[in-house]
Copies of this chain bind each other. A is one copy, B any other.
């Protein structure tokens, strides 16, 4: 075991270079996603109508950032350069943000809540196919600090005050979902290791097309539930 770059761990899976490449890709994508989410949230905090709102959104931003260092450390422990691991995901993630720049405070709240929720659901689905240690790390990096209540309250009271807001924000939620799928498909087409991970290997169960379909159904249902929680049609 001592020649393994992750010596001291009982994870045989990580000795398979294809599997390792996929894990490095995945952690790199999550890490850059969190850095990027932090930047956008911090920027959105400037639109906050009150200091209370600013503190709430700032706290979401720093929770995101708080997960970055453990992901980078793990990438290093896996023998990867964390910055090289993040590089392939900068363009799709930056494009996602460029195409979904919030026009106001409500759009920014929804994006924080719904966008973050979608990403978390997707990574959690994938994590189910990974070794325990990687799975635990991913799940830990996706916990929020319970700010969801704040977003739901703000959006619901905004809609109560101006019912037309509901229609606009429902469209916004659909646009976020559409843009996320576009970029996710792009990543899947470009990153062979990641796609192969989902397809499985000789000694590792994977997902057939029907299973991938069910995974997307679950993600779509969770998205609809979140929109519903906000008082919005999905």
> CB within 8 Å of B: which residues of A?
32, 35, 38-39, 42-43, 45-46, 50-52, 54-55, 58-59, 61-62, 65-66, 68-69, 72, 83, 86-87, 90
Contacts and interface: CB of A to CB of B under 8 A. Distances in A.
Taken together, the copies of this chain in the complex come to 2
Contacts of A39: 42, 45-46, 54, 58
A55 B43 contact: no
B65 A61 contact: yes
Contacts of A62: 38, 61-62, 65-66
A45 B42 CA distance: 10
Given A62-B61, A62-B65, A62-B66, A72 B45 contact: no
Given A42-B39, A42-B43, A58 B65 contact: yes
Nearest to A68: B55
